[in-house]
Amino acid sequence: MIEYNRKLFLVVDDFTDFRAALIGMLRQMGVNDIDAVGRGEEALALCRRNQYDVILHDYNLGGGKNGQQVLEELHHRRLLPPHCVFVMISAESSQAMVLAALECEPDSYLAKPFNQASLQQRLDRLIAMKTTLRPLLEAHHEGDHARVLEACRQVIAAHPRYRPQCQRYLVMALGGLGQHGEQERVLRDLIAERPVPWAMLALAELYRNSGRLDEARDTYEEGIRQFPRVPAMYDGLAATALAQGDPEQAQDYLQQGLRLSPNSLRRQETMGSLARRNRDHEQAARAYRQAVELGRHSLFRNPENHLNLVSSLHAQSDDGTLSQRQLVEIRQTLTELDRTWRDDPALAVRSRLAQAQTLRRTGQEDEARRLTDQALEQLQEMPGFFSAEAAMQVFTQLDELGQSQRAQQVLATCAEMYGDDPQVMDALARHTDDPDILAAGSEALEWNRQGILQYQQKQYAAALELFRRAGAAQPRNISFALNTAQSLLRLISREPSADLVRECRACLQRASQMPADDHRRERYLKLCDRLEAQ
Amino acid sequence: MMNHQDPGPEFSAILASTIHDIKNSLSLMMQNWEQWLARLPPEQAQAGERGVIEYEALRLNGMLMQMLGLYKLQINELPLQPDWADVEALLQEQLARHAEILQARNISSSCHIAGPELFVLDDTLIGSVIGNVINNSIRYTRSAIRLSATTDDGMLLIRISDDGAGYPEHMLGRRGQDAQAADLVQGSTGLGLYFGQCIAAMHQRDGHQGYIELVNDGELGGGEFRLYLP
């Protein structure tokens, strides 16, 4: 028997009548503690304060965040206790929403209308399961993979009916521990016993991430043959085709996934970037338009979608003219961008340049020039710099606006900051053939490479000299600055020196210019901590 | 040159969105009905009309769900999400959904599991097929409904049996994917069967396909609906 009188419940539905009916059912079951609200934002606020045992959440709340967006945010901000049961309630058959986000599934879907008996049957089952899985769920919540493995084996032995649930956690934990061989073996065994979509997806992804692209492709294709209605299979197949150098095929696959499940923000973003790359600007504009729409209440909203929508609309017309409808859409999109991210100077520059491009297309040359000058002034004063990808877009914008000299400067800075990343250099080479930009860093790169070798052999003093040389040649390069700082910290820990600490602080100050979403930020923060600890 | 007229939105799409709204308002009606019942004195709350109202509401909802399901199937938007499911919980939940009606009509119900505890299927879709069959059986049975799950030649066999007069002769037999939608003219029973055979056929494994079969003289002596899943 489950002691419902000791459970804390949250009910989220925009219809007061439905809330009252649901609360009535819960009271009949013996539940005493029930919070009930009508909006997703309120639910999130309550979850910050309380640890709910059960959340019953309506999917479609009329306005604001929907159930999926609330669940994503609850997961992302880690607001759910590991044993919490989250049930998504919906008037429509659940399938369309199931597909919206496979990464972030609720524990169960319940279709309206339902009676008390079926609600209780479902909750009894879910609570019993989570109670049994509790050691496993807690270990998973804490990211303790080894403990997850142990708990999985124990639960499977004692409660074979929960084997399918345990196996998912087991596979995740093996991945977390880096035991990919074992992970592959477990997944192959599972599939041999009985193929299920998640296991085929996990195996294919494992292949893809380890560069076994042919095997990945075969597995996705087999997955689609067996489960033709699982959109994530098409996502994976598209990513594989792209990795194999066939972006057009990739767009085709992704299109099939979108047909099954258009409500995924990430899928629309991927489609936008693929279509753009394939110069299919109509498709790109459609995808980015959807992404802007889907992102409006989402935690994962992304200003790049606004800018990409505008540039896709610009690119749609060969002769440069824009229809009245396109002009309205561009204006609305940029207004929303400026309003939503008003404190981001890099976005302000890009938004202004996009406006200037639009004005130029409508023949308002003077006004366009005025805005371009404003943007260039902001660019001058901007702290930090764009991400590599954004820098290349700014280059294209400035180039189109007749500012080729400033455009080249942006590329040069980009090469200096990110030039140690071969993918960035490849992309740069598609925008310019200026040897001053493309080859400027090659000497510094070689010093950096040798520095890394010395560092690996624990020759920190020699490594430092090489990193210093690289850094002197390209002072804005983030990796060189981080490498110098790391070598300095090694030497400081051996023999404290105020000079070296000062130098290290200056290096980290240079590295702090990286964009907020740069993959090296974590490393940077760790180095800052270590410096503080000196 | 042909004179093309703007066809407007497709009729089936209009129908689907209307069904959606009907379903929502039915759902709201039934919730209010339950709240109202809770406030009525017991002798009035247990009146015979209650069973009729609740049964017909569930039947309506079932038909609307099936129509939406078939629409989505037609436009290729009914995704199948098979995963390991607890077979007994699946059957029990459908009985629970009909708990009040079964009680009000004095129909006894039972659930017997003799096959695997877990099986790979789409529990939402299979659940709705079973729910519709139970709903239909309630109408035709005399006193009992029996659910059972066993294995038959490697397939999961779910049976919903009653002790009524059985299915009409022309409806008996096995239905695979190729079966015609001819039964649709038979009203809600036909719609439910067609939906069931579509969902069953979507379940595939190693070239084997799910199917349904109708027999008489079943386990309780009346009609029996059989759902085979690979």
Chains A & B: contacts with CB separation below 8 Å: 114
Mutation for testing the B interface, residue in A14, A56, A102, A121 having most B CBs under 10 Å: A121
The residue type of A460 is Y
The H-or-E segment that residue A35 falls in is strand A33-37
B223 part of a folded domain:
yes
| Cβ-defined contact of A113 to B84 (cutoff 8 Å) | no
Report H helices in chain B: 11-39, 42-45, 48-74, 87-97, 99-104, 123-140, 188-202
Is 70 exceeded by the pLDDT of residue B179?
no
pLDDT above 90: percentage of residues in chain B: 38
B1 part of a folded domain:
no
pLDDT of amino acid B185: 54
pLDDT bracket for residue A57 (50, 70, 90)? very high
Are residues B143 and B65 located together in one domain of the fold?
A: no
Is 60 exceeded by the pLDDT of residue B180?
no
pLDDT in tens, A207-222: 999 999 999 999 999 9
How far is A346 from A385, CA to CA, in rounded Å? 7
- Strand B211-215 to A108-111 pairing: unpaired
Contacts of residue A319, defined as CB under 8 A and 6 or more positions apart, other chains included, come to none
The H-or-E segment that residue A184 falls in is helix A180-193
For A466-470, the CB contacts below 8 A with 24+ separation are A469/A444, A470/A444, A470/A445
Closest of B176, B181, B160 to residue B66, by C-alpha: B181
| Cβ-defined contact of B57 to A115 (cutoff 8 Å) | no
* Chain B nearest CA to A115, separation (Å): 6
pLDDT in tens, A139-151: 999 999 999 999 9
Structure tokens at B46: 């247990």
DSSP classification of residue A104: S
* Chain A nearest CA to B115, separation (Å): 13
A20 to chain B, any CB pair closer than 8 A? The answer is yes
List the single residue in B with minimal CA-CA distance to A262: B77
User: How many other C-beta atoms lie within 10 A of the C-beta of residue A5?
Assistant: 10
Are residues B68 and B92 located together in one domain of the fold?
A: no
pLDDT of amino acid B188: 62
Mean pLDDT, chain A, as a whole number? 91
DSSP A453-489: HHHHTT-HHHHHHHHHHHHHHSTT-HHHHHHHHHHHH
pLDDT bracket for residue A92 (50, 70, 90)? low
The H-or-E segment that residue A256 falls in is helix A247-260
pLDDT of amino acid B1: 42
B172 part of a folded domain:
yes
The domain boundary, picked from B74, B109, B125, lies at: B74
pLDDT in tens, A385-402: 899 999 999 999 999 999
How far is A467 from A453, CA to CA, in rounded Å? 11
How far is A345 from A376, CA to CA, in rounded Å? 12
| Cβ-defined contact of A24 to B38 (cutoff 8 Å) | yes
Structure tokens at A163: 């084997």
Is 60 exceeded by the pLDDT of residue B3?
no
DSSP, collapsed to helix, strand or coil, labels residue B183 as helix
The domain boundary, picked from B26, B45, B74, lies at: B74
Are residues B208 and B189 located together in one domain of the fold?
A: yes
Are residues B184 and B96 located together in one domain of the fold?
A: yes
A345 to chain B, any CB pair closer than 8 A? The answer is no
| Cβ-defined contact of B96 to A115 (cutoff 8 Å) | yes
* Chain A nearest CA to B114, separation (Å): 15
B198 part of a folded domain:
yes
| Cβ-defined contact of A93 to B76 (cutoff 8 Å) | no
Are residues B102 and B181 located together in one domain of the fold?
A: yes
Alpha-carbon distances of A255 from A197, A272, A284, A286, rounded to whole Å: 20, 11, 11, 12
| Cβ-defined contact of A113 to B26 (cutoff 8 Å) | yes
* Chain A nearest CA to B211, separation (Å): 17
Are residues B59 and B90 located together in one domain of the fold?
A: no
- Strand B144-152 to B155-162 pairing: antiparallel
Structure tokens at A476: 């804005």
Mutation for testing the A interface, residue in B33, B93, B195, B206 having most A CBs under 10 Å: B93
Length of chain A: 534
Counted domains in chain B:
2
| Cβ-defined contact of B124 to A114 (cutoff 8 Å) | no
Which chain A positions have a beta carbon within 8 Å of B61's beta carbon? Answer: 113
* Sheet hosting strand B211-215, strand order edge to edge: B108-113, B144-152, B155-162, B224-229, B211-215, B173-175
pLDDT in tens, A318-357: 677 889 999 999 999 999 999 999 989 999 999 999 999 9
Q: Which of B61, B65, B118 sits opposite A164 (nearest CB)?
A: B118
| Cβ-defined contact of A121 to B65 (cutoff 8 Å) | no
Are residues B37 and B106 located together in one domain of the fold?
A: no
pLDDT bracket for residue B187 (50, 70, 90)? low
pLDDT bracket for residue A97 (50, 70, 90)? low
CATH code of the domain containing B189? 3.30.565.10
List the single residue in A with minimal CA-CA distance to B28: A18
Which chain A positions have a beta carbon within 8 Å of B109's beta carbon? Answer: none
Are residues B129 and B87 located together in one domain of the fold?
A: yes
pLDDT of amino acid B2: 44
pLDDT of amino acid A205: 95
Q: Mean pLDDT throughout B166-172?
A: 87
The H-or-E segment that residue A34 falls in is strand A33-37
Instruction: Print the domain residue range for B51.
Output: 11-74
Contacts of residue B121, defined as CB under 8 A and 6 or more positions apart, other chains included, come to B82, B85, B90, B156, B203, B229
**pTM (predicted TM-score):** 0.80
Contact B136, B217 (CB under 8 A): no
pLDDT of amino acid B9: 61
Closest of A1, A51, A54 to residue A26, by C-alpha: A54
Closest of A16, A21, A12 to residue A40, by C-alpha: A12
pLDDT in tens, A191-246: 999 999 999 999 999 999 999 999 999 999 999 988 887 888 999 999 999 999 99
- Strand B83-86 to B118-121 pairing: antiparallel
Are residues B26 and B91 located together in one domain of the fold?
A: no
Are residues B57 and B139 located together in one domain of the fold?
A: no
Is 70 exceeded by the pLDDT of residue B181?
no
Closest of A53, A361, A197 to residue B120, by C-alpha: A197
Are residues B122 and B30 located together in one domain of the fold?
A: no
The domain boundary, picked from B74, B94, B110, lies at: B74
| Cβ-defined contact of B83 to A121 (cutoff 8 Å) | no
A99 to chain B, any CB pair closer than 8 A? The answer is yes
pLDDT bracket for residue A505 (50, 70, 90)? very high
How far is A32 from A284, CA to CA, in rounded Å? 51
Q: Mean pLDDT throughout B25-52?
A: 82
| Cβ-defined contact of B84 to A164 (cutoff 8 Å) | yes
pLDDT bracket for residue A375 (50, 70, 90)? very high
DSSP classification of residue A13: -
For the ranges B3-7, B75-79, B100-104, B175-179, the lowest mean pLDDT is seen at B3-7
B134 part of a folded domain:
yes
How far is A53 from A34, CA to CA, in rounded Å? 10
Buried b (16+ CB within 10 A) or exposed e, A267-294: bbbbbbbbbbeeebbebbbbbbbbbbeb
Is 70 exceeded by the pLDDT of residue A90?
yes
How far is B114 from B90, CA to CA, in rounded Å? 14
All structural domains of chain A: 4-132 (3.40.50.2300), 442-533 (1.25.40.10)
B99 part of a folded domain:
yes
B6 part of a folded domain:
no
A118 to chain B, any CB pair closer than 8 A? The answer is yes
* Chain B nearest CA to A96, separation (Å): 8
Q: Which of B20, B23, B31 sits opposite A17 (nearest CB)?
A: B31
Q: Which residues does residue B118 pair with via DSSP β-bridges, in sequence order? A: B86
The top-scoring range by mean pLDDT among A235-239, B33-37, B47-51, B202-206 is: A235-239
pLDDT of amino acid B183: 55
DSSP, collapsed to helix, strand or coil, labels residue B145 as strand
| Cβ-defined contact of B34 to A21 (cutoff 8 Å) | yes
Structure tokens at A321: 């003219």
Alpha-carbon distances of A513 from A128, A455, B204, rounded to whole Å: 51, 24, 55
| Cβ-defined contact of A18 to B28 (cutoff 8 Å) | yes
pLDDT bracket for residue A517 (50, 70, 90)? confident
Is 70 exceeded by the pLDDT of residue A101?
no
pLDDT of amino acid B131: 92
Contact B64, B123 (CB under 8 A): no
For the ranges A51-65, B19-33, B43-57, B173-187, the lowest mean pLDDT is seen at B173-187
Q: Which of A94, A109, A196 sits opposite B84 (nearest CB)?
A: A196
pLDDT of amino acid B49: 82
* Chain B nearest CA to A235, separation (Å): 15
For the ranges A511-520, B80-89, B219-228, the lowest mean pLDDT is seen at A511-520
DSSP, collapsed to helix, strand or coil, labels residue A108 as strand
Are residues B222 and B120 located together in one domain of the fold?
A: yes
- Strand B224-229 to B211-215 pairing: antiparallel
B39 part of a folded domain:
yes
Q: Which of B27, B34, B92 sits opposite A112 (nearest CB)?
A: B27
Angle between helices A404-418 and A422-429 (to 10 degrees): 160
A296 in the Ramachandran plot: left (φ > 0), alpha (ψ -120 to 50) or beta? alpha
List the single residue in B with minimal CA-CA distance to A167: B84
pLDDT of amino acid B184: 55
